Structure 1
Amino acid sequence: MIQDATDRALVALLRTNARASTADLARQLGIARTTVVARLQRLERSGAIVGYTVRLGQDEERPRVMAHVGISVEPKRSRELVLRLQAIPELTQLYTVSGESDLIAVLRADSTARLDALLDEIGETDGVRKTTTSVVLAVRVDRA
């Protein structure tokens, strides 16, 4: 678990650059390298840090179209529907939510044509009552 301001600062630095060396992190935080190592181990053991990743920039490899899809589900069909949605490689996140929709799916597609096909596929899936889609026009803040 994140325990104090130093842990929060350490996590913030890792969010900026997950490849930063422990010596670099220690220098930026003004603490000993061994302290950084111990804190990282504790944060990993506690589940506060579950992995390190690479974030791609806006280039040809990153899907260009992102959409949030609200999905209303027929009662007692959500478990089966979630399993079917998991099989869609362009689905990057799936949330259970309150409100008009039961689920919010985040899709990343290479083109609007592919997004359209995905939306048809989701809409035609057994258990889906209704979908509502919002296409992301621009990302203003991304701290993920």
Structure 2
Amino acid sequence: MAVDELDTRILRLLLEQPRTSVREYARILGVARGTLQARLDRLERDGVITGTGPTLSPTALGHPVLAFVHIEVTQGHLEEVGDALATVPEIIEAFSITGGGDLLTRVAARDNGHLEDVIQQLNRLPGVVRTRTEVALRERVPHRILPLVEAVGRAASAERR
């Protein structure tokens, strides 16, 4: 899906001012409300915009320890283990990966003891061979998407020239 300059401006506003109304977005952008709504609908339909909910902090929820747990899985059990991971509330994300392991999970825990309990729970899942854990010390680049949006918009503008 091609993202043009207006799409980029819309996405920037959504990221920077997520609680603003569509009418106000249209006023800021200098476009008709119907034009903006059509663009938003297309961006959602094309999967560019995937949600509108708030971003929550595991730390503020009492889970300040962040760890990345690599999971090695018995061949043929990736789906089964993936489904089991979805039942562990401390797992924030899980991905199939290449390299050293089969799955990579992001885990939030209350403290190191709680993290150990979660890891032991993962090790007991049928199909899990072993785990390897890395604890995050400090976030250096917070989750972000705006720089990518802007780069895509610049590339689309350059292609049209």
Q: TM-score range by the shorter chain?
A: 0.7 to 0.9
TM-score with structure 1 setting the length: 0.86
**Partner of 1:71: helix, strand, or coil?**
strand
Q: Which moved more, 1:71-80 or 1:17-26?
A: 17-26
In the alignment, the residues of structure 2 paired with residue 32 and residue 133 of structure 1 have an alpha-carbon distance, to the nearest angstrom, of: 51
Q: Which one has more relative contact order, counting CA pairs under 8 Å at least 6 apart? A: 2
Unmatched runs of 5 consecutive residues or more in structure 1: none
The aligned residue for residue 103 of structure 1 is 103
How many residues are aligned here?
144
Identity of aligned residues (%): 33
Per-residue deviation, residues 35-83 of structure 1 (Å, max 9, x unmatched): 2212111112222222211123576425211111111111111111111
Per-residue deviation, residues 75-133 of structure 1 (Å, max 9, x unmatched): 11111111111110111111011101110011112222211100111122221122111
Runs of 4+ with >4 A deviation: none
Q: Is the 8 A contact 2:91 2:106 kept in 1?
A: yes
CA 1:55–1:32: 2 relative to 1, 3 Å = same
- Structure 1 position 131 matched with structure 2 position 137: no
The aligned residue for residue 23 of structure 1 is 23
In the alignment, the residues of structure 1 paired with residue 114 and residue 50 of structure 2 have an alpha-carbon distance, to the nearest angstrom, of: 32
In the alignment, the residues of structure 2 paired with residue 108 and residue 58 of structure 1 have an alpha-carbon distance, to the nearest angstrom, of: 7
> Over the residues paired in the alignment, what is the CA RMSD in angstroms?
2.1
The aligned residue for residue 144 of structure 2 is 143
Greater per-residue helix proportion:
2
